[in-house]
Amino acid sequence: MIKSMTGYGRAKEILNKRDITVEVRSVNNRYLDCTVKMPRMYSFAEDAIKQHVQQAISRGKVDVFITVDASAADVAKVTVNRELAAQYASALNELAEVCSTESHVTPEQLARFPDVLTVTKADEDLETVSADICAVLDDALVAYNAMRAVEGAKLAEDIGNRLTNIENYTSQVEERSPQTVAEYRAKLTARMQEVLQSTTIDEQRILTEAAIYADKVAVDEETVRLRSHVAQLRTMIASDEPMGRKMDFLIQEVNRESNTIGSKCNDVAIAQVVVGLKAEVEKMREQVQNVE
């Protein structure tokens, strides 16, 4: 079943002591436009994130929001500057000699001096972090696609109903079209009788004129193509593949056939049918703008 381009999905999980939250939301767009918003320190994972999005979404304006709380995963590494500590100890011993006192240099004393102890954050495994973010992203995309599928089912139902209406309008055109030729022939005969009065009417001339008119207003080709387009659109709305662009193209063709029928048929009844037909086409086009 087709999917809507509008959707939202969210997932949250703790992996390797990192609390990761991913939100995915999208609106209509002609092509896929993915924007990732997350802390700068995790920007190394952006390419991998976009690849996962491209595998799940074919088009739409997609925003991915990522937050990572890694406070529990922070591992501190403490290093001792042995050379500097030795210099501080030597200096303290020298001061003790100057003061004629016994030196009792302790580790606690040395630790208070600047740069003797250095605390650094342990390096993160970038591949692991990226994989964890993408794992949560995949969960968010599952929820996101589920919502899009629900919306897509509603779109498919609405489009299907409008296709049925278009078929009904097409049937009305097919039923009415032959009648317009018969009515034209009757009007032409009456007009010639009025003009010529008692003069004998050339029946062959009437038949010729009626045949020319019938050929001019014939819409058989247009109605056949209309039904073909409708059948293709029904197949598309049942497909699991992204069909939005193809459907948009076919609806343009349906609109073109509708315009041709309207321009060919100089008949009030058919003109009214064409107005209803084009109204359905326009409403369907608006709905297809939401289809992936």
Q: What per-residue confidence (pLDDT) applies to 92?
A: 86
Please tell me the predicted confidence (pLDDT) of residue 17: 86
What's the token pair of residue 36?
């990732």
Which H or E element spans position 228? helix 220-237
Q: Which residues contact 244 (CB under 8 A, 6 or more apart)?
A: 2, 5, 59, 288, 289, 291, 292
Contact 14, 151 (CB under 8 A): no
- Per-residue pLDDT of the chain in tens (292 residues, 90 and over written 9): 899 999 999 999 999 888 999 999 999 999 999 999 998 888 999 999 999 999 999 999 999 999 998 776 665 678 899 999 899 889 888 888 888 888 788 888 888 899 888 876 666 778 999 999 999 999 999 999 999 999 999 999 999 999 999 999 999 988 887 777 666 666 666 665 555 565 565 666 656 665 565 556 567 788 899 999 999 999 999 988 899 999 999 999 999 999 888 877 777 888 899 999 999 999 999 999 999 9
Amino acid found at 104: H
Length of the chain (residues): 292
Domain ranges for the chain: 7-72+125-148, 76-121, 152-288
| Distance, CA of 188 to CA of 182 (rounded, Å) | 10
Count of other CB atoms within 10 angstroms of residue 59: 18
pLDDT at res. 177: 77
CATH number of the domain at 7-72+125-148, please? 3.30.230.10
* Ramachandran assignment for 69, one of left (phi > 0), alpha (psi -120 to 50 degrees), beta (any other): beta
Residues sharing a CB contact under 8 Å with residue 266, sequence separation 6 or more, in sequence order: 180, 217
Q: How far apart are the first and last CA of the chain?
A: 11
Q: State the Cα–Cα distance between residues 44 and 194, nearest whole angstrom.
A: 89
Specify the 3-state DSSP secondary structure of 21.
strand
Number of H helices, E strands in the chain: 8, 6
Q: In what order do the strands lie in the sheet with 18-27?
A: 7-15, 18-27, 60-69, 32-37
What are the tokens at 51? Answer: 């690849």
Dihedrals phi, psi of 231, to nearest 5 degrees: -65, -40
**Residue 20: its pLDDT value, please?**
95
Neighbours of 9 (CB within 10 A): 22
Query: Cβ(50)–Cβ(78) under 8 Å?
Result: no
- Predicted confidence at residue 61, as pLDDT, reads 96
- pTM value is 0.70
Element (H, E) at 41: none
d(CA 251, CA 232): 10
Strand runs labelled E in the chain:
7-15, 18-27, 32-37, 60-69, 76-80, 117-121
